[in-house]
């Protein structure tokens, strides 16, 4: 298999684009597409301080590495934010990897843990709980990242969400028939108290991110989160992977279709105004944020004031 742009041996076949790329052209293409996503969506401006959520997995590792390369000559400051949820046999290894990539790229790193922030590790939270582990993880992780980002004085929070993640999220909301959440998937303006999130890798498939990490010598092979198989996302991921294999470009077209729907429905689905949580002051819908609501369930000996 020969590169479509030169006579070198290709290392990747981009079936959805109808081309093959050698290592050098693949790296150029990867970083060029990421820059295009950043520029078109005005994700990063000169003089900003950006927090990069770095878990130690391939996506966030590749994100920090690629951003460090393309922003090397720009007046942009970066800090790595790592969340330790407290998942035995899984998170310890990835935190080591996160420390390694932050040190390699010369980026300051801040580590925040569920245990220190909330009083419980995720493993402790889910014992006997009726709420799915991914619900606890998603809510508290989002809360911890936003609070830490504000304390660090950053202007944006960059996450390693890829094309697979984005297409899965859209499909999950389709399956649930949740139009309100679907329309919130792509916020159109900043909300007070929320650090704007950016996704520079949103247009790049997961497999290409893994390959980029491999050819740059930064790939860290980790086990899948033990709670991942319990989520709807796992089933949607398997379905989308099968469809992509049979019909290359399915994920890309899923996102393009959503963007068209979002554009057509923009006037009918106004972005929701957020209030301040009466307990922690974080932005929320209603009087109490989801993090405080879940913390109330984790404190059986304290009165739960939901609805008071």
Q: Are 213 and 253 within one domain?
A: yes
Tell me whether residue 5 is in a domain: no
Q: Are 241 and 253 within one domain?
A: yes
Tell me whether residue 280 is in a domain: yes
| Ramachandran sector of residue 122 (left: φ over 0; alpha: ψ -120 to 50; beta: rest) | alpha
Tell me whether residue 192 is in a domain: yes
Tell me whether residue 4 is in a domain: no
Q: Are 182 and 167 within one domain?
A: yes
Q: Is 275 annotated as a binding residue?
A: no
pTM for the complete prediction?
A: 0.90
Per-residue pLDDT at 267:
67
Q: Is 277 annotated as a binding residue?
A: yes
Tell me whether residue 46 is in a domain: yes
Look up the CATH number of the domain holding residue 137.
3.40.50.620
Whether 263 has a pLDDT exceeding 90, the answer reads no
Nearest Cα to 50, choosing from 75, 79, 83, 71?
79
Q: Is 165 annotated as a binding residue?
A: yes
Whether 307 has a pLDDT exceeding 60, the answer reads no
Q: Are 279 and 179 within one domain?
A: no
Please, which pLDDT band fits residue 304 given cuts at 50, 70 and 90? very low
Q: Is 284 annotated as a binding residue?
A: no
Please, which pLDDT band fits residue 301 given cuts at 50, 70 and 90? very low
**What tens digit of pLDDT does each residue of 174-204 get?**
998 888 778 777 666 678 889 999 999 999 9
Q: Are 205 and 168 within one domain?
A: yes
- The contacts of residue 202 (CB under 8 Å, 6+ apart) are 37, 161, 162, 163, 165, 166, 255
Specify the number of domains making up the chain: 2
Q: Are 205 and 296 within one domain?
A: no
Q: Are 305 and 238 within one domain?
A: no
State both tokens at 113.
């843990």
Tell me whether residue 13 is in a domain: no
Q: Is 96 annotated as a binding residue?
A: no
Q: Are 236 and 302 within one domain?
A: no
State the burial class of residue 140 (Cβ atoms within 10 Å of its Cβ: 0-12, 13-18, 19+).
buried
Q: Are 65 and 89 within one domain?
A: yes
Q: Is 3 annotated as a binding residue?
A: yes
Q: Is 178 annotated as a binding residue?
A: no
Q: Are 255 and 308 within one domain?
A: no
Domain that holds residue 302: 273-308
Q: Is 280 annotated as a binding residue?
A: yes
Q: Is 134 annotated as a binding residue?
A: no
Tell me whether residue 57 is in a domain: yes
Tell me whether residue 18 is in a domain: no
Q: Is 54 annotated as a binding residue?
A: yes
Nearest Cα to 286, choosing from 295, 296, 294, 278?
278
Q: Is 22 annotated as a binding residue?
A: yes
């Amino acid at each position: 298999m020969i590169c479509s742009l030169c006579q070198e041996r290709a290392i990747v076949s981009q079936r959805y684009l109808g081309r093959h790329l050698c290592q050098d052209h693949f790296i150029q293409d990867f970083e060029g597409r990421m820059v295009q996503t950043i520029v078109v969506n005005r994700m990063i401006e000169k003089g900003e301080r950006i927090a990069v959520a770095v878990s130690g997995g391939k996506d966030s590792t590749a994100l920090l590495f690629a951003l460090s390369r393309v922003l090397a000559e720009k007046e942009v400051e970066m800090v790595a934010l790592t969340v330790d949820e407290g998942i035995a046999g899984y998170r310890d290894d990835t935190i080591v990897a996160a420390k390694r990539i932050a040190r390699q790229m010369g980026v300051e790193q801040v580590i925040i843990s569920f245990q220190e922030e909330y009083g419980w590790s995720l493993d402790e939270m889910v014992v006997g709980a009726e709420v799915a582990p991914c619900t606890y993880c998603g809510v508290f992780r989002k809360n911890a990242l936003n609070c830490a980002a504000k304390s660090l004085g950053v202007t944006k929070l960059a996450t390693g969400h890829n094309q697979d993640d984005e297409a899965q999220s859209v499909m999950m909301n389709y399956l649930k028939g949740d139009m309100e959440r679907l329309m919130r998937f792509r916020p159109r303006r900043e909300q007070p108290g929320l650090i704007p999130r950016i996704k520079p890798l949103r247009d790049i498939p997961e497999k290409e991110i893994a390959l980029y990490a491999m050819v740059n010598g930064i790939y860290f092979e980790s086990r899948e989160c033990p709670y991942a198989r319990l989520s709807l996302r796992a089933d949607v991921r398997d379905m989308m992977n099968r469809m992509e294999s049979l019909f290359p470009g399915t994920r890309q077209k899923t996102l393009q279709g959503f963007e068209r729907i979002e554009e057509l429905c923009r006037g009918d689905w106004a972005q929701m105004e957020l209030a301040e949580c009466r307990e922690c002051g974080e932005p929320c819908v209603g009087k109490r944020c989801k993090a405080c609501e879940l913390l109330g369930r984790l404190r059986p000996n304290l009165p739960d004031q939901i609805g008071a």
